[in-house]
Amino acid sequence: MNKAKITLQSLDNGDYCLSGVLERDTVPAFWQQRCEWMPQGSKVTLDLSGLSRVDSAGMVMLLHLSQQLITAGCDFTLLNVPEQLKTLLRLSHVESMLAAYIK
């Protein structure tokens, strides 16, 4: 059995691609390492097209990440948000927290 993984790939000029499985089993280790991958630029675009699964833990991690970036003054954008994540946001009544950043 393969262990689920989540990876963040740095592309160009503040563009990143998150891929894999963003769930309760992958979030803790990924979040602990955020100092190593936390974007430092003033503009950050996070492409979520590589995500194959997102659960509520993954949703919360993205909410916290977005809050950290916004608080740091980053111009933050989420691209290719999976329908599964949109549904979780809507069902959790937190879609308004990210709505302005989803393109």
- pLDDT tens for each residue of 70-82: 898 889 999 999 9
Token pair 């963040």 is at which residue? 8
Spatial contact of 14 and 47, defined as CB atoms under 8 Å apart: no
Average pLDDT, the chain: 89
CA distance 94 to 88: 9
Confidence of residue 97 (pLDDT cuts 50, 70, 90): very high
Question: Residue 69's pLDDT is what?
Answer: 87
Question: Residue 1's pLDDT is what?
Answer: 44
Q: Give mean pLDDT, residues 13-37.
A: 88
CA distance 70 to 25: 26
Q: Which residues contact 80 (CB under 8 A, 6 or more apart)?
A: 47, 48, 49
Domains, the chain, ordered by start: 6-34+41-100 (3.30.750.24)
Three-state SS sequence of the chain:
CCCCCEEEEECCCCEEEEEEEECCCCHHHHHHCHHHHCCCCCEEEEEEEEEEEECHHHHHHHHHHHHHHHHCCCEEEEECCCHHHHHHHHHCCCHHHHHHHEC
Question: Residue 32's pLDDT is what?
Answer: 86
